[in-house]
Structure 1
Amino acid sequence: MKKVNRTVRRKYDISRKRKLVKRLEIKVDLIALLEYIDPTFLDYQEWVNVGMALKHEGYTADDWDDWSKRDGGRYSPGECFKKWTTFEGNGVTGATITQMAKENGWEPKRRKEDHELDWNDEITGNDDYVVIDKNWIEGMEIREPTNWNPVRELTTYLETLFEASESVGYVVSTWQNDEGKFLPTKGNWDRTAGELIQALNQSDGDIGAVLGDYNPEAGAWIRFNPLDGKGVKNENVTEYKYALVESDTMDLEKQNAILRELELPIAALVYSGKKSIHAIVKINAANYEEYRKRVDYLYNVCKKNGLNIDNQNRNPSRLSRMPGVERNGKKQFLIDTNIGKSSWEEWHDWIEDVNDDLPDPESLTEFWDNMPELAPPLIEGVLRQGHKMLMAGPSKAGKSFALIELSIAIAEGMRWLGWKCTQGKVLYVNLELDRPSCLHRFKDVYQALGWQPNNLSNIDIWNLRGKSVPMDKLAPKLIRRAAKKNYIAIIIDPIYKVLTGDENSADQMAHFTNQFDKVCTELGSSVIYCHHHSKGSQGNKKSMDRASGSGVFARDPDALIDLVELELTDALMQQEENKVVCDIYKKAIEQHNFDYLDEHVSQDDLLSAVSMEAHAKRAIPEQLPNVQQVVKEAMNKVRIRSAWRVEGTLREYPKFDPVNMWFSYPVHLVDEVGSLKDIEPEGEAPPWKKNFSKKKSAEERKKERNEALETAFEACSIDEKITLTAIAEYMGVSEKTVRNRIKDHGGFWIDDGEIGRK
């Protein structure tokens, strides 16, 4: 026995009284939740995390120590108290214990149907996986065998659960604790089922001669999964065939009835000789992780159907009651074998089919004269509230700025790209920009639009750069935070940061986009997100075929807004520069010498930059240097802006006419005068123009290669490690090509197939 260091213990005792006061304020009793967590089932780090969580929430080292004693094989007296003093500021909270308990069958009590979602709540109905009405289930009698044959009981059990060559663990020896309760020892594990069956058949009915004599007050135990013959821990289990379902708080006949009504794939049903039935359920998991998931699912279904099961029986190496022996005057016997569904797969499919959670068909006649109201518009003529919209476009189209513009338009009740927006609260989920950059962009866009920020309280921003998770994990967290905010729109930018699965796989992308449906349904708000175009020319494609990946992206949303770049001619750009210059000179003359403008400037002069500059020299010579500086800055801004055509595919509204616009950093401006209406999108130029297109310089080609590499790196960053293979697959090139581009780029390192930024 190790002695607890007195200094450590004294420090602990001083802080204990303070912690007890804090503990009175704790809403969830974590000690009760620990009943659902078996320390023998945890690895070292998980065990330490429980201690950290208890300390963070104001519990004591005694609480952690008492719980740790349940792992008799690893428990070391005094170890909890020594580690306790080192737990400071580790960031592990009570949510860790809550999650562990939930994974082991605990469910939070629901006070009201409209309760605020907890971090660990699942987005499912309360009736999921309910197969039977527990209030109407009738008990089913258990009959003790009339011709008691212990050897037959045990051999039938062994033949049902094991192959002849598989090692079996069993216990006949016991010890008594301080309360006088008989507990099993580790027992035996070095004999195969075939060896035991053969010895039992030759024992002349004396199983004690084969297994050793057992204490008739205590009974005997057996492990239901095969072992490797070297021990009895989880790591000694060779195949994860079965799990134990047991309830010792219910009427035996009701237990029997529920187990059968649930059609559980039971290999053996054993009476324990006291107050419970042991159901050995077929799991047939490929590995330990799958075993844990299947047992979680099994226990969840049992609990929802009224079976109060013991959560401590999850271990694959767990002991169960051995049939063929007596326990305090009562027999432990086989009630039945191979009942219910034939396999885990068959039972799982049956449970899922019974609980498909689909609505019943409706007759149109019931609603013909009383149609339900349509959802009100969010963007008039484009999108209804509670529906989904995708914005697709190439890199540098300013998609993020367009979505920020949309956020502001909804918050202020203004127009977006010419469409009127309903005013309301909006959540902008920022996955790409660092927090300061994102906040500055909102202010820059407000100022560039010239709008007053009268309704800033309508805009919430959730900055998740560096913290994003796959969409199926993000959706419940988003719903929890947004449940009572009354958002009419949630904008997620961009989705490649939360993308799960292969974007070219229709079924995987259907699962991904279903997460947006969950958000819409749970919150009643619209979900708006953006995605990038596929590679190559887009002008000759339909709008719904331009988005990268599976066609699910374009066909799933209720509205698809697509941006395609327009090829600007030199003549048009000169015309735009001329307009801007003329307008600046006109406003300057109006401000400083209005009479001159009225007397000397003709209508033709108003359309000529050269003429207007000459008039400015004569009319406002003192202000001319400042005005010329303004002209220079405006011309530079014109030269760097790009032109775009907005097309769409709508489910709820008629198709709209294409909208032409300029992207003049940081905002998009609709082309009200029609300068862009005759400009062709990229890829739609006639063949003779394509054949004589300007050849790109080496510097331009290098820039494109570097940008493609940057895009691929960002897209693959959703994984913990960014690998050479992943980058190559994303770009559609060989790994050798990627290596060469990384070397040429100079901003990345590569080590043993892993890639990172320098």
Structure 2
Amino acid sequence: MSAIDPASCSYEEWLHVGMALQHEGYPYEVWEEWSRNDSARFHEGECVMKWKSFQGNSDPVTGATITQMAKTRGWSSKKKSEPDRALEWDSVISDVQIVDTHYLEAEKEIKEPEDWDQMGDMIAYLNAIFLPDDIVAVSMQSYEKDGRYVPSAGTYQLTAGHFVEQLKKYKLKAQKGEMSTNDAIGYAMGDYDPNAGAWIRFNPFDGQGVKNINVADYRYALVESDSMAPGLQEELIRKMELPVAALVFSGKKSIHAIVHIDAANLTEYKERVQKLYDICKHNGLMVDDNDRNPSRLSRLPGVYRNGHKQFLMATNIGKKNYAEWLGWVESLNDDLPDPESLASVWDDMPDLAPTLIDNVLRMGHKMLLAGPSKAGKSFALIEMCIAIAEGTKWLQTFQCQQGNVLYCNLELDRASCLHRFKDVYTALGIAPEHLQNIDIWNLRGQAIPMDKLAPKLIRRAAKKNYTAVVIDPIYKVITGDENSADQMAHFCNQFDKIASELHSAVIYCHHHSKGGQGMKRSIDRSSGSGVFARDPDAILDMIPLVVSDSKKTPYDEEADRASGAVPAPAFRITGTLREFPSFPPVNLWFRYPVHKVDDTGLLKMAAEEGSLIDLQARGRKAGNAAKKSEKEKRIVELEDAFKILSDNGKPVDLEAMAQYFDVSQKTVRTYARESEKFTIGENKVYRK
């Protein structure tokens, strides 16, 4: 409130400050103390009297009104260190700066026309605002109340076409000298009081009344300010390129701009008017909030008002409609670069971003490491952090440029994460000579959605000159449904913001979808929307390998038996790269806590889990097992049948055995051959 001079406020604004304070729970003394700063208008006791009259309503004035009033006077809520905020897709861009009010050069007063065509103004206004069949509500008559002229309900059953015809008819009579202009207006529109002027409602009606419910089409809103010089109002309206259908001088201290809103219903009308008013206020046009109703009266041009002319200043200025205007406003705030000609840079190409991981990833780009659960993805990322910090090879394969790295730990508790880094350093056998190059941000239990985390991360990292930011894992911070393309596009856009703001690579990991992945392309294995596969500049995919039990794994057998270790899981890493050609697959063993490249060649021909080769091999094994089980079952059944049919262990007729099983004698012979306990001779079954 200290940024708002009460002397600069209109009466309505002064009341709104009081209403907002009451709504937010402040005592009236706050309003009164602030109001004292306007010594010319302050009256003792007035604040408390008005305060008691505030009864509240369904659409209350809130503290946001005071905030907006302060912003229009140059106040900012942002601290010096706080970066600009990222707007959501559906954000209301009400704080876009269109006009620099410090450089307005307009005359403060409006010059009235000397050669004035009163009825011509009325005709032009009606044609600009209405269609011929639109029902128009006009208030020509008025009455005095408390020293003010108040318009009557007027007429609201006649069309714009009717009024235009009448105006043309009687204007011709006036031109012929058959009657005065004043009488001609009276015959065409109705008699009016030149001391009061005349009014018209700028939206068409249904002919049943003049309330909001009677508005037939929500086409226009009124933009008016009583707290600014009329000349400045006009200058701002024109510089903001408001989509004005008609611009009217009120004959006193304001301009009435009839602005396209083009709303489908009352709800949309309210939303659009609020956005319009917010943008106007932010650019210095102090709009009267009382004018927001679609049934509001406005000044009718072509009449006198207390010795001054209510005249039509312009029609159809600014943008053509609301949509075009809002698109233009948003374009002023997009900060997008202009297109450039390829010819202008052909002989002087810009330098490519430096490489962070040789033949894989550049600075400022994004990389996704994808794999199944428990594949050691986090360990692989920690190995990468160490390789970047120390300037060594990652996975004994990819050379990393030395630099600073931020590891965002979203999953492990702080102690476990720190121990894991030390364990990996030790297992890799790398001397920890550049530990200062690794920062760890432990956020377990404190993770927030990525669109909220990104600005906080950028703010903390802005001065650290990180070459890479690692986010592990992303499922902890996913914003929205991971199967929704548009929501995941919004989510992935946060990585772009981090990369562009910090000029660092953004590296993150994600899990595979359920089931075997060998039959899928590596780009399609990540769980959720395909956006995950198409957004990063580099995708490194880890898929499990099927290693035959008969093949030895590279283990120290004696040490393994002592530790109780199980055979090491094996993985194959492939790359889908935007900036570099694909690299040969890298086959690895995960020997906790690090990955070791297979230098034995054992994994070169290993099948990927879920691949056709793997599935066929599993099918053969399953078939063999089924056959073995069926054979064992038949042997048992043969023994049971012999016990039942045999007389104290004597041979059983082959025919009787065949009838027992309901099969041919040839089949019984096959059963017997499968068993080591029976033989057949002379058409009898003997126990050996």
Q: Deviations over 1:507-542 (max 9, x none)?
A: 665555444333322322222233343454322333
Equivalent in 146, 155, 172 of residue 116 of structure 2: 146
Equivalent in 318, 322, 325 of residue 299 of structure 2: 322
- Please say if residues 531 and 547 of structure 1, whose CA atoms lie closer than 8 Å, have aligned partners that are also in contact: yes
The SS at the match of 2:262 is strand
Taking structure 1 as reference, are residues 343 and 670 closer, same or farther at Cα in structure 2, changes over 3 Å only? same
Tell me by how many angstroms 1:665 deviates: 5.7
Structure 1 position 272 matched with structure 2 position 250: yes
1:58-207 equivalences in 2 (<5 Å): 60=30, 76=52, 97=64, 101=68, 116-118=81-83, 120=85, 143=113, 146-149=116-119, 152=122, 156=126, 160=130, 164=134, 192=156, 194=158
1:662-701 equivalences in 2 (<5 Å): 662-663=589-590, 668-671=595-598, 673-686=600-613, 688-692=616-620
Structure 2 residue identity aligned to 1:322: R
| Residue number in structure 2 paired with 1:602 | none
- Please say if residues 498 and 506 of structure 2, whose CA atoms lie closer than 8 Å, have aligned partners that are also in contact: yes
Equivalent in 616, 641, 644 of residue 571 of structure 2: 644
Structure 1 position 446 matched with structure 2 position 421: yes
Number of residue pairs matched by the alignment: 576
Taking structure 1 as reference, are residues 105 and 508 closer, same or farther at Cα in structure 2, changes over 3 Å only? farther
The SS at the match of 2:256 is strand
| Residue number in structure 2 paired with 1:374 | 352
Long gaps (5+) in structure 1: 1-22, 81-93, 177-181, 585-608, 610-627, 696-758
Structure 1 position 564 matched with structure 2 position 543: yes
Structure 1 residue identity aligned to 2:323: E
The SS at the match of 2:130 is helix
| Residue number in structure 1 paired with 2:680 | none
| Residue number in structure 1 paired with 2:670 | none
- Please say if residues 429 and 461 of structure 1, whose CA atoms lie closer than 8 Å, have aligned partners that are also in contact: yes
1:397-416 equivalences in 2 (<5 Å): 397-407=375-385, 409-411=387-389, 413=391, 415-416=393-394
The SS at the match of 2:546 is coil
What TM-score do you get using the length of structure 2 for normalisation? 0.63
| Residue number in structure 2 paired with 1:657 | 584
- What is the alpha-carbon distance in structure 2 between the residues aligned to residue 245 and residue 73 of structure 1? 30
- What is the alpha-carbon distance in structure 2 between the residues aligned to residue 392 and residue 367 of structure 1? 37
- What is the alpha-carbon distance in structure 2 between the residues aligned to residue 134 and residue 119 of structure 1? 23
Tell me by how many angstroms 1:392 deviates: 2.4
Tell me by how many angstroms 1:662 deviates: 3.7
- What is the alpha-carbon distance in structure 2 between the residues aligned to residue 654 and residue 170 of structure 1? 79
| Residue number in structure 1 paired with 2:367 | 389
| Residue number in structure 1 paired with 2:675 | none
- What is the alpha-carbon distance in structure 2 between the residues aligned to residue 516 and residue 99 of structure 1? 36
- What is the alpha-carbon distance in structure 1 between the residues aligned to residue 598 and residue 13 of structure 2? 67
Equivalent in 465, 468, 488 of residue 486 of structure 1: 465
1:498-517 equivalences in 2 (<5 Å): 510=489, 512-517=491-496
Taking structure 1 as reference, are residues 258 and 683 closer, same or farther at Cα in structure 2, changes over 3 Å only? same
- Please say if residues 566 and 680 of structure 1, whose CA atoms lie closer than 8 Å, have aligned partners that are also in contact: yes
| Residue number in structure 2 paired with 1:589 | none
- Please say if residues 382 and 424 of structure 2, whose CA atoms lie closer than 8 Å, have aligned partners that are also in contact: no
- What is the alpha-carbon distance in structure 1 between the residues aligned to residue 447 and residue 287 of structure 2? 33
Structure 2 residue identity aligned to 1:379: I
Tell me by how many angstroms 1:648 deviates: 0.8
Structure 1 residue identity aligned to 2:439: I
1:199-598 equivalences in 2 (<5 Å): 216=195, 224=202, 240-246=218-224, 256=234, 259-260=237-238, 263-286=241-264, 290-291=268-269, 294-295=272-273, 298=276, 308-313=284-289, 316-317=292-293, 319=296, 321-324=298-301, 326-349=304-327, 357-364=336-343, 366=345, 368=347, 370-407=348-385, 409-411=387-389, 413=391, 415-418=393-396, 419-429=398-408, 433=411, 437-451=412-426, 452=432, 455=435, 458-461=438-441, 463=443, 468-469=448-449, 471=451, 475-476=454-455, 478-495=457-474, 510=489, 512-548=491-527, 551-572=530-551, 575=553, 579-583=555-559
Taking structure 1 as reference, are residues 663 and 103 closer, same or farther at Cα in structure 2, changes over 3 Å only? farther
The SS at the match of 2:222 is strand
- What is the alpha-carbon distance in structure 1 between the residues aligned to residue 444 and residue 188 of structure 2? 67
Using the aligned pairs only, state the percent identity: 39
| Residue number in structure 2 paired with 1:51 | 24
Q: Deviations over 1:140-184 (max 9, x none)?
A: 9874771334994798289629974688999966877xxxxx889
Tell me by how many angstroms 1:66 deviates: 10
- What is the alpha-carbon distance in structure 2 between the residues aligned to residue 658 and residue 409 of structure 1? 20
- Please say if residues 172 and 215 of structure 1, whose CA atoms lie closer than 8 Å, have aligned partners that are also in contact: no
Taking structure 1 as reference, are residues 661 and 289 closer, same or farther at Cα in structure 2, changes over 3 Å only? farther
Structure 2 residue identity aligned to 1:526: A
Tell me by how many angstroms 1:367 deviates: 5.6
- Please say if residues 406 and 470 of structure 2, whose CA atoms lie closer than 8 Å, have aligned partners that are also in contact: yes
- What is the alpha-carbon distance in structure 2 between the residues aligned to residue 374 and residue 199 of structure 1? 69
Taking structure 1 as reference, are residues 281 and 441 closer, same or farther at Cα in structure 2, changes over 3 Å only? farther
- What is the alpha-carbon distance in structure 1 between the residues aligned to residue 49 and residue 611 of structure 2? 74
Taking structure 1 as reference, are residues 575 and 404 closer, same or farther at Cα in structure 2, changes over 3 Å only? closer
The SS at the match of 1:345 is helix
Task: Specify the structure having the higher radius of gyration (Cα).
Answer: 2
Q: Deviations over 1:111-153 (max 9, x none)?
A: 99xx644465769999988699996999998747713349947
Tell me by how many angstroms 1:349 deviates: 4.7
Tell me by how many angstroms 1:565 deviates: 1.8
The SS at the match of 1:450 is helix
- What is the alpha-carbon distance in structure 2 between the residues aligned to residue 106 and residue 494 of structure 1? 45
Q: Deviations over 1:32-71 (max 9, x none)?
A: 9x989979999x9xx689837x89xxx957579999x999
Query: Once structures 1 and 2 are overlaid, which stretch shifts more, 416-425 or 388-397?
Result: 416-425
- Please say if residues 236 and 285 of structure 2, whose CA atoms lie closer than 8 Å, have aligned partners that are also in contact: no
- Please say if residues 266 and 338 of structure 1, whose CA atoms lie closer than 8 Å, have aligned partners that are also in contact: yes
Tell me by how many angstroms 1:283 deviates: 1.7
Structure 1 residue identity aligned to 2:299: M
Taking structure 1 as reference, are residues 168 and 462 closer, same or farther at Cα in structure 2, changes over 3 Å only? farther
The SS at the match of 1:448 is helix
Tell me by how many angstroms 1:661 deviates: 2.8
Q: CA RMSD in A?
A: 5.9
Taking structure 1 as reference, are residues 470 and 249 closer, same or farther at Cα in structure 2, changes over 3 Å only? farther
Tell me by how many angstroms 1:449 deviates: 0.5
The SS at the match of 1:528 is strand
The SS at the match of 2:68 is helix
Structure 2 residue identity aligned to 1:323: L
Taking structure 1 as reference, are residues 690 and 161 closer, same or farther at Cα in structure 2, changes over 3 Å only? farther
What TM-score do you get using the length of structure 1 for normalisation? 0.58
Structure 1 residue identity aligned to 2:608: P
Taking structure 1 as reference, are residues 120 and 506 closer, same or farther at Cα in structure 2, changes over 3 Å only? closer
Query: Once structures 1 and 2 are overlaid, which stretch shifts more, 125-134 or 358-367?
Result: 125-134
- What is the alpha-carbon distance in structure 1 between the residues aligned to residue 66 and residue 390 of structure 2? 40
The SS at the match of 2:543 is strand
The SS at the match of 1:381 is coil
